[in-house]
Structure 1
């Protein structure tokens, strides 16, 4: 049995803790808005930085990860929806706050201190603004591909990378998240962290043609693809892919296709490299050509994560919120590629890095189980025809 003095001390500690909690709750109720946050217009990061940064384009780019004209255009597109939100916080401030989260990956608590807001206010603004950005930009900057659009992509791939009949390069990227509640091992990937998968197809200009976000990290690239909407559309021939066409400077007619790495199956609409074992000069030449063209998707992922650095960190939200944030980053990637073009510094840096290893295949991909890589004779014939084409015509 504890002594009476021990019981007395325990009751005293509990009483003091209760009083402390009561004081804190009463202060919160009394303040409504914390005194620190009332000084937002005097000391908040937005109010004493934003206008000054606009005078220095290089610093503004470092802060918002886009040029001043691009920011103004983005603000014009989302202002009507942002204006309907909490009126005490301007559309400009809401957009800057969202971009700062995407650009830095700082916690909502850290941003709350910097911008002199409540933590819940920051999290709500970031989520609401990211959804508005996606909804307002997607139809213009990532529309559902039409046959004419895909035909233009095919022409661009041949003009830029000398790879014919290609309407995009496909790959997946693991986006790290905190362990979801009651998720088991479904989100735990082979890299030993929890993630959701971003599967994307890139055009020849390193813009995303289509994306799907939400695959569980435990899935491989081939498994994610086989369960995707894109797979179902391609299998049913409902993706608006142009009909088979002749290879340039040749009478050989072949179907149009995506290109992927070793993790993807060989299909009529998807080509992958030859296995690295038992390569000869011709098949090695084909692998090299495919690798060069496939760098478009790797470069797109590189620009995406370099610009929106929350993707380089653990996304500390539930998976459904992380999906919305990742989709927002992808549409902003296309927006900046369209508006700032090749002058974007992130594009310049990543392109320079990619130029050093264009001829190398991706060393991190893994061979998939045979159920994903069972190849039809038509797909094998298409790849063999391209091998001969590249070898004979020297493209």
Structure 2
């Protein structure tokens, strides 16, 4: 982490997690203990920086997606990745993922620039993508109409197109998820063009995961903390 960013975090979070000195020992500074600091980041900064866009912000977001893909009304790209963790004491088998190491599943929705709009990271590595989605806060918000409900565009001789996100074959088709299609030589030129446009949008979340893991190597090598 850059020193400047660390200093900013300590300045904002220090008062929230600060300990008091005692007669016997001097208090540990905010930048010297991790679990409390991470909890404070989630509690006090999470909603400020990780939130679903407002209507005005979403209008700009969908325009950027359309410039990238030439497809209208895309509001995000969704995917999952694995976050390596220490083997838990209970139900360890559930945490082995398909790549044969112990992990949690991180689900994320990003915009066309790879900025995270929503995340969920609490389920063990063996849980498949479609089940991670159904058990996430994001799914609840979509079902309640809080997310992916507006605007509805009228295109192609009156067809009404609701907002949607792009997701790979690990997801189940919904009215609000357009599943990415693998390229195949049997497709026509027009079909291949459409699929290529899909892929340009869907790859945004994959790039976001790569940047995240390059910046925070602990997500790759694993944490020594007890996740239970």
Q: Give the TM bin, normalised by the shorter chain.
A: 0.7 to 0.9
| Structure number having the greater strand percentage | 2
* Alignment CA distance shift 1:312-1:184 (3 Å): closer
Q: Which residue number corresponds to residue 238 of structure 1?
A: 146
149, 165, 190: which one pairs with 2:57? 149
Aligned to 1:265: 172
Counterpart of 1:75?
10
Q: What is the 5 A alignment of 1:92-241?
A: 94-95=30-31, 97=32, 125-239=33-147, 241=149
**What are the ranges of 5 or more consecutive residues in structure 1 without an aligned counterpart?**
1-63, 98-124, 321-395
Aligned partners of 1:282 and 1:227: how far apart in 2?
A: 36
Per-residue CA deviation, residues 122-162 of structure 1 (Å, 9 max, x unaligned), is: xxx11011111222212221134443333332122223443
| Bigger RCO of structures 1 and 2 (CA < 8 A, at least 6 apart) | 2
C-alpha distance in 1, partners of 2:52/2:198?
25
TM-score (norm: length of structure 1): 0.51
Larger Rg: 1
- RMSD over aligned Cα, in angstroms? 2.5
Deviations 1:212-263 (A, max 9, x none): 111221111122112222223223323263131145x986531110101111
Shift of 1:89: 5.0
Mapped to 2, the partners of 1:243 and 1:287 lie a distance apart of: 24
What secondary structure does 2:210 align onto?
Answer: helix
1:140–1:250: structure 2 CA closer, same or farther, 3 Å change rule? farther
1:254 is matched with which residue: 161, 177, 185?
161
**Contact 1:170-1:297 within 8 A present in 2 as well:** yes
CA contact (8 A) 2:148 2:176 kept: no
- In structure 2, C-alpha distance between the alignment counterparts of 1:132 and 1:184, rounded to whole Å: 28
> Match of 2:42, SS?
helix
CA distance in 2, matches of 1:251, 1:304: 41
TM-score norm. by structure 2 comes to 0.85
| 1:309 is the counterpart of 2:208 | no
Relative to total residues, which structure has the larger helix share, 1 or 2? 1
